[in-house]
Structure 1
Amino acid sequence: MIDYAQARRMMVDCQLRTFDVNDIAVLDAFDDVPRETFVPKGREPFAYIDQTLHIDAGDETRCMPAPMVLARMIQALKIRPGVAALDVATGYGYAAAVMAHLGAQVTALESVPDLAAEARSRLGTTAQVIEGPIESGAPKQAPFDVILVNGRVEVRPQALLEQLKDGGRLVCVMGPHRNAKVTLFVRAGDAFGARPLFDASLPGLKAFQEEAGFAF
C-alpha cells in the first residue's frame, strides 16, 4: 500500500524545492493537502508523479497541473490569509484546496456540471464551488485579490483580469502549446502589467482559444 504522506514529502523535497519553490507556507500547504483525494478515481497511485494529470471532462479539457508547475504558480500569487481567490477551471478542486490551506477565501469556478459536483463533494466546506462559463469569471463574487487559471490560455483573459482588485494578481499558462509560459498579471488601476515567469505548458482551455484566421 502506498504511504501517501511519505509521497507528499518526497514531492515537496524532490520536485518543489528543486524548482525554486521556497515559500515555506506554500511548501507546507503542498505537504498537508492530500493530492490523492483530488485525482480521478483509480489514478490515486499517480497523484504525486511529476506530470500533468488529465481529467475527463467530456468535450472540454481539464487537468491537474504538475505539482512543481502549480506550486510556482501559487507562489507567484503571494497568497496571504483572508484574501479573496478565484480558481478557474477547478476540475476536482485541488488548487482551490491548496489556496484555502494558505488562508484564502476561495471561489472555485467550473463550467462542466459533473466536475462541479465532484469538486463540491471533494472540497466540502473548504471552498465555494460555482458552476458557469469559465471565461466569464465570477462577477457576483468579485473583486478578487488573486486568480489562478488551471489550463493554458491563448488569448488574454480580459474578463477575469477586470475582476481583480487594484493590486490583484492573476497567474496562468499563456501562449501557443510549444511556446507557452506561466505569466503573471498585476492590476494597477485600469492597467494590467504582464510578466512571463517560466516555460510551461498545459492542455488548452477551449474558452480561451485564439480564433482561427481565414485560410486562402
Structure 2
Amino acid sequence: MAADFAAARLNMVESQVRTNDVTDVRLHDAMRAIPREGLIPAERSFQAYADTAVEYAPDRYLLRPREVSKLLQALKPQAGERALAIAAPYAAAVLEALGLTVDRLDGDDLTAVSGSNYDLIIVEGAVTRAPESWLAALVLGGRLGVIEREGPTGKAALYLRAEDGIGRRTLFDAMAPVLKGFEPQAGFAF
C-alpha cells in the first residue's frame, strides 16, 4: 500500500500542484515527501491525494492540494522563519520540511493566538474575514494566508503587515469548508 501512496503523492504534485502555477520547487519536493495519508483517519486515507478537502477531525479539513500549495507559495516561506499553522496540519508539515519553526493551533478557540511575532500564518479552512487576533500576531513584514468565504466560493487572501498597517490582496478563487465558529452571520437586509 505504501507504494500506492508514494505514486499518489507524485501524481498529486504533477497534476494538482504544478499545473496550477505553483513553481516553487521546494514546495514540490516537500509535498512529494510528506505523507498526507498519515494526517487523516485511516478509513479516509484513500482520499489523501484526491482533489478535495479531506476531513481530518470533526469539522476540520485538509485543504485541496491546489489551494494549500498556492497559499504556501504566495506566503514565500523562508527557512528560519517562525510560522503559525491554524487548523493546518498538512501546511505545518510542509513548512517544517522547508526549515521553518512552526507552532500549531488546532483547539476549540482558533482566535486565541497565544504568541505573536510570526513571520507567517496559514489557515487550512475558510473564514468570513480574518480575525484581528491573527493579524496582530504578525511581525513587521509578516504574512497571513487564508481563504475568506461568505457564499459558495471563497477567495484566497494574503495579508501583509507593513509599517503603515495591514494590507490585503486577493489571490485566487478557492473552495474550502468554513471552519466551525467562522460561519457568516445572518443579518437583516431590505
Q: TM-score, normalised by structure 1?
A: 0.82
- Identity in percent: 39
Q: Map 1:33-182; keep pairs closer than 5 Å.
A: 33-57=34-58, 61-90=59-88, 93-112=89-108, 133-139=109-115, 142-182=116-156
CA distance in 2, matches of 1:164, 1:34: 29
Shift, 1:214, TM fit: 4.4
Whether 1:197 aligns to 2:167 is: no
For residue 97 of structure 1, what is the amino acid of its counterpart?
Answer: A
Whether 1:206 aligns to 2:180 is: yes
Structure 1 outlier segments of 4+, above 6 Å: none
Root-mean-square deviation over aligned CA pairs: 1.7
Shift, 1:5, TM fit: 1.4
1:186-209: CA deviation from partner (whole Å, max 9, x where unpaired): 111251111111101211123333
Shift, 1:6, TM fit: 1.4
Q: Which runs of 5+ in 2 are unaligned?
A: none
CA distance in 1, matches of 2:23, 2:157: 19
- Aligned partner of residue 135 in structure 1, secondary structure: coil
CA distance in 1, matches of 2:72, 2:172: 13
For residue 54 of structure 2, what is the amino acid of its counterpart?
Answer: L
CA distance in 1, matches of 2:57, 2:18: 30
The count of corresponding residues between Structure 1 and Structure 2 is: 189
For residue 201 of structure 1, what is the amino acid of its counterpart?
Answer: M
Shift of the 179–94 alpha-carbon distance from structure 1 to 2, 3 Å rule, reads: closer
Matched residue, 2:158: 184
Q: Which runs of 5+ in 1 are unaligned?
A: 113-132
Whether 1:25 aligns to 2:31 is: no
Shift, 1:43, TM fit: 1.4
1:84-131: CA deviation from partner (whole Å, max 9, x where unpaired): 0000123xx22211110011100010114xxxxxxxxxxxxxxxxxxx
For residue 191 of structure 1, what is the amino acid of its counterpart?
Answer: G
- Aligned partner of residue 147 in structure 2, secondary structure: strand
1:165-203: CA deviation from partner (whole Å, max 9, x where unpaired): 001000000021324101100111251111111101211
CA distance in 2, matches of 1:99, 1:19: 19
CA distance in 2, matches of 1:163, 1:209: 22
User: Is residue 118–residue 139 contact of structure 2 (8 Å, CA) maintained in 1?
Assistant: yes
CA distance in 2, matches of 1:46, 1:18: 20
